[in-house]
Amino acid sequence: MPIIEVIVSPQGATQVTTRGFAGNSCQAASQSLEAALGLRQAEQLTPEFYQQQATNLAQSQGQR
Amino acid sequence: MSHIVQIQTQVRDPVAIASACERLRLSPPIHRTVQLFSRQETGLAVELPGWRYPVVCQLASGEVRYDNYNGRWGAQAELDRLLQTYAIEKTKLEARRKGHRVTEQSLQDGSVKLVIHVGA
């Protein structure tokens, strides 16, 4: 199930991370939340997340 | 694909500010004009513990105006706590407004992690 993870620092700044979304849908999913929280400082795309999942899947299938 | 976004919190939602005050057991915020030593500010005023002057949340700009004389008239930690709690409450409000389930967890470094289960 897709999740949006929000980490709020002790000073109140937030980091929003999406996990488990297909394609670009992660950005659409968290856009309104990001806008509600404040001003975007930086964005980082992490395609490794899905690559990692694909690797894990391949390994687990290979073990069968 | 996944993405990570860093956000500087802007205080714009009166409902989330009220929730934050309630959670921190502060008096409810009141819209008024207050004197901050040598100047006046108008907005949603919040009284922080040990602070000489209230902090004023200007919802249109998202800015928080205050004068704590570099900490001598009020500890920065109290304002930080208000901003952190605001961001937590705002995140929960937005998640629930969209019908998502949200869980909260305190981390060892003082941060708070919220997990929004999209579609749950």
- Interface contact B80-A37, CB threshold 8 A: no
Q: What string of pLDDT tens digits covers the 64 residues of chain A? A: 899 999 999 999 999 999 888 877 777 888 999 999 999 998 888 765 555 555 555 666 655 5
Domain boundaries, position B60: 14-117
- Interface contact A23-B117, CB threshold 8 A: no
- Provide mean pLDDT across the span B76-103: 96
Does the predicted model carry a pTM greater than 0.90?
Answer: no
Q: How many domains does chain A have?
A: 1
CA pair distance B69, B55, nearest whole angstrom: 13
Mutate to test the interface with B, among A11, A15, A53 (most CBs of B within 10 A): A11
Q: How many domains does chain B have?
A: 1
Residue B7 has pLDDT above 60, yes or no: yes
Identify whether the C-beta of residue B85 lies closer than 8 Å to the C-beta of residue B20.
yes
Domain boundaries, position A23: 3-58
Comparing CB atoms, the residue among A21, A27, A38 nearest residue B9 is A38
pLDDT digits over B16-32, tens only?
999 999 999 999 999 99
